[in-house]
Structure 1
Amino acid sequence: MLVSLYGLKNCDSCKKAMKAFDASGQAVTFIDIRAEADVASLAPKWLQQVEAAKLINTRSTTWRQLDESERAKAESDPAGLLAANPTLVKRPVIERGDDVFVGWTKDVQAALGI
């Protein structure tokens, strides 16, 4: 099954995920969320499966630099907020078929069979 990993090349969690996929023999396509991904079209699809609080990285530098009116969009327009600020997406986002996984936790690894 085709697996796509959305992240940043310098993200430690993304690097760990890529190594784990390689070690398990599962093919994965890496897509740079800042340079290659169309977050405007991806975010609504992701938000159908994952709640905004899980998808928006509120611990990031980007989040800390937003003013309160921008942060309020996390509740009112999370897809628009992510489209305008792709680095707010918690990484990695992994698509396998119709499933969407966020982060590189033990639960995600188990669900992916890694």
Structure 2
Amino acid sequence: MLTMYGIKNCDTIKKARKYLDANGVAYQFHDYRADGLEADLLQRFSDTLGWEALLNTRGTTWRKLDEATRSAVDNAAAAQQLMLAQPAMIKRPLLCRADGSMLLGFNETAYASFIVEKS
């Protein structure tokens, strides 16, 4: 079973969900805002993908931070603390398989490969 992590009103999440639905792929959706985010889950994401990959520094939430806050995010602990406080800071979507493998972002070709690999 696949689990998609993200925020339901994100345009990229909507595209990714539409792709999975159109291709008949079963998945569970975990909305960070509605379902929450546990520190141990974020740690697992960070261990697998790296905190730099997870932290969305191109989004509105990041740009709204003051310079001192952005400058202080220079290590895994600081980044994880920020992402736990503001889950919109996490790049999305994050697609996870039961075996622990993960795919960050949405690209139809990458999704097709990731889905086939699970079979």
Give TM-score scaled by structure 1 length: 0.86
Per the alignment, residue 79 of structure 2 pairs with 78
Q: Residue 3 of structure 2 contacts residue 96 of structure 2 at CA under 8 Å; is this kept in 1? A: yes
Distance 1:111 1:62 in 2: 31
Q: Secondary structure at the match of 1:94?
A: strand
Report how many residues are paired: 113
What corresponds to 1:16 in structure 2?
15
Say whether the 8 Å CA contact 1:3–1:94 is kept in structure 2: yes
Task: Note the alpha carbon deviations across 1:21-57, whole angstroms, 9 max, x for none.
Answer: 1122110111111221324232111011112221111
Provide the residue aligned with 2:36 in structure 1. 37
Cα displacement string for residues 36-93 of structure 1 (whole angstroms, at most 9, x for unaligned residues):
1324232111011112221111111110111233223432222112111111001111
- Name the larger-Rg structure: 2
Structure 2 residues without counterparts, runs of 5 or longer: none
Helix, strand or coil at the partner of 1:75: coil
**CA spacing shift, 1:54–1:107, aligned 2, 3 Å:** farther
Judge conservation of contact 2:19–2:108 (CA < 8 Å) in 1. Answer: no
Give the distance between the partners of 1:47 and 1:25, measured in 2 at CA. 29
Letter paired with 1:48: D
Q: What is residue 113 of structure 1 aligned with on the other side?
A: 115
Structure 2 CA distance, aligned partners of 1:110 and 1:74?
Answer: 34
Assess, with a 3 A threshold, how the Cα gap between structure 1 residues 108 and 78 changes in structure 2: closer, same or farther: farther
Deviates more, 1:71-80 or 1:97-106: 71-80
CA distance in 2 between counterparts of 1:15 and 1:47 reads 24
Q: What is the rounded CA distance, in whole Å, between the counterparts of 1:99 and 1:31 in structure 2?
A: 16
Distance 1:72 1:101 in 2: 27
Residue aligning to 2:90: 89
Deviation at 1:107, TM superposition (A): 5.4
- What is the deviation of 1:106? 4.5
Amino acid at match of 1:63: W
Q: Give % identity.
A: 36
